[in-house]
Amino acid sequence: MDYRSPLPLEFLTFGSFSSESIRKYRPNVVNGLLLQTGLPYSRVLSSHRSCVNALAISHDGKWLGSAGDDPYILLWEESTPTETIMVHTGSVRAISSHPFSDEVFLSASEDGCVILHDSRSDNRMSRAQGTLQEHAELTGVQFHPEAPDLFVTSAGNGQVCLRDVRMAFGLRSSRSNNGVVQEFVTTLAKPVLSHLARPEASSVTFDKTGSKLAVTNMGYLPTIYSLDDEYPLATCSGNYSPNGNPTPPGSRTYSNSCTMKHGSFGGPGLIFDEYYAAGSDNFCGYVWKIPSIEEMKQEREILTDAEFYQRDRSTTAFASSLSDDRYIPMQLQRPVCQLGGHKSIVNSALFHPHWPMVLTAGVERHITLHSPLSDSPCAVGLGKTSNDIRQLPPVDAEGRRRAVEALMIGPSEADSDDEGTIALFDEILRQEQDLDVFQSRRWSGVVSDPDSNDEDVQDDSDVGELPF
């Protein structure tokens, strides 16, 4: 592994659970403060040099890992310098810590690799044995929280797969089907179209018990699944504001058309995760309340092909092929709160494992911690987050100049306010915010690569490992 000199840290209080702060914080959690007032306080963490793509917190809440376009993985912990690990050849899109061992974690990258990291000297695999290689860019990875032999991945070709560590890593002779034990249906259908769409899966994540998982889809909505059901149970949108009012026509609401998003389940530290958080292209994050699996199954519609074609032409359903039944998940259209404090696209939203706090990150090089109170068990002195959400500005010559400069030379150390990067993504948003996934990700319903404009190609779900 290669190590980079540690960067200066401005915020190192993870794991500082004082009895006094917990005593003050606990009643507000129990009384449902998250539902009453949202997460109105925040604080900024800085150390990355460019966009932050992925966040992960260890099971005990002590370690925060962050990764991005640097392409470095930063480990944050109280009174320790950051440790930097660089093993991927492309941007790191996701990291996941082992539920029972802090020495073990998974990372997924746009280089098509999932790497199993294990710092225990007596249990290390060779680089080849610890690497799973796919042809598609990998966008998400996470260990199952209670059965660590299982993990889930998402990919740029739309595949979302449950895998077995024992079949995915190790000697060639022990590997099978790249560890895949189940693939979830992510393909979309509309009544008026004779083709399906297979969105790019931006990320995937488990809830606390591993009974549910969520997929964020490029050009579509965050989608909730049960682990034992290949079809989705619910979708999350911002069609209504947290106060219950419909989002006005033409207003910018939840969307995901320009960057890779990573969401997370969480809540006030109860047995079950009741909430899901995700970032959005409209410069903020969202938190939704998730019903029980039983309620979502009851609300889901299952239609035959003939029944589906009688529906309104705007109806969207999930289907594994053009002839199979159509599944219309329950629609969760009213988030419980929005998360502000950003000037550009929010790519990641991560709940703390024990407290109702959410970390968000994205196009800016900073990470923002959101809390229901100004003082919490692991952060003090948080300020009130502004309710003003930055609007996408009109095109101007200076913005175009900064966007071109950022595109040509990349982020600058002197650009502490990320003005060039923000201008670049403003321009990308103007061009891609109206993405039609049924046009950009056409899928015939047979085994094919959705990036091939519906031309049949060989399935890449069973490729081998790196040729070391």
Least Cα distance to 235 among 247, 225, 249, 248 occurs for: 225
Q: What is the mean pLDDT of the chain?
A: 81
Angle, CA of 401, 406 and 409, to the nearest 5°: 115
What's the token pair of residue 366? 């900073």
What's the token pair of residue 397? 């010559």
- Write down the pLDDT at residue 210: 96
Compute the average pLDDT of residues 246-255: 87
- Write down the pLDDT at residue 307: 95
pLDDT band at 96, cuts 50/70/90? confident
What pLDDT digit, counting tens, does each position of 173-226 carry?
Answer: 889 999 999 999 999 999 989 999 999 998 999 999 999 999 999 999 999 999
Q: How far apart are CA 326 and CA 200, in angstroms?
A: 20
- Write down the pLDDT at residue 94: 82
Residue 376: partners with Cβ closer than 8 Å, 6 or more residues away: 21, 25, 355, 357, 382
Q: Of 203 and 233, which is predicted with more confidence?
A: 233
- Write down the pLDDT at residue 451: 43
pLDDT band at 4, cuts 50/70/90? very low
Q: What percent of the chain has pLDDT over 70?
A: 79
- Write down the pLDDT at residue 97: 83
What pLDDT digit, counting tens, does each position of 336-361 carry?
Answer: 999 999 999 999 899 988 888 899 99
Minimum mean pLDDT range among 162-171, 322-331, 383-392: 383-392
- Write down the pLDDT at residue 72: 67
Compute the average pLDDT of residues 394-400: 82
Least Cα distance to 9 among 70, 64, 91, 71 occurs for: 64
What pLDDT digit, counting tens, does each position of 447-460 carry?
Answer: 444 444 443 333 33
Domains of the chain: 38-392 (2.130.10.10)
Q: Is the pLDDT of residue 311 over 90?
A: yes
Least Cα distance to 269 among 26, 24, 5 occurs for: 26
Q: Is the pLDDT of residue 34 over 70?
A: no
Length of the chain (residues): 468
Q: Of 279 and 75, which is predicted with more confidence?
A: 279
- Write down the pLDDT at residue 270: 72
This prediction has a pTM of 0.82
- Write down the pLDDT at residue 280: 95
- Write down the pLDDT at residue 28: 57
- Write down the pLDDT at residue 440: 92
Compute the average pLDDT of residues 407-423: 71
What's the token pair of residue 309? 């074609």
What pLDDT digit, counting tens, does each position of 51-95 carry?
Answer: 776 777 776 777 777 767 766 667 765 444 756 676 788 878 888
- Write down the pLDDT at residue 459: 34
Q: Of 262 and 376, which is predicted with more confidence?
A: 262
Q: What percent of the chain has pLDDT over 90?
A: 43
CB burial of 253-275 (b: ≥16 within 10 Å; e: otherwise) equals: bbbbbbbbbbbbbbbbbeeebbb
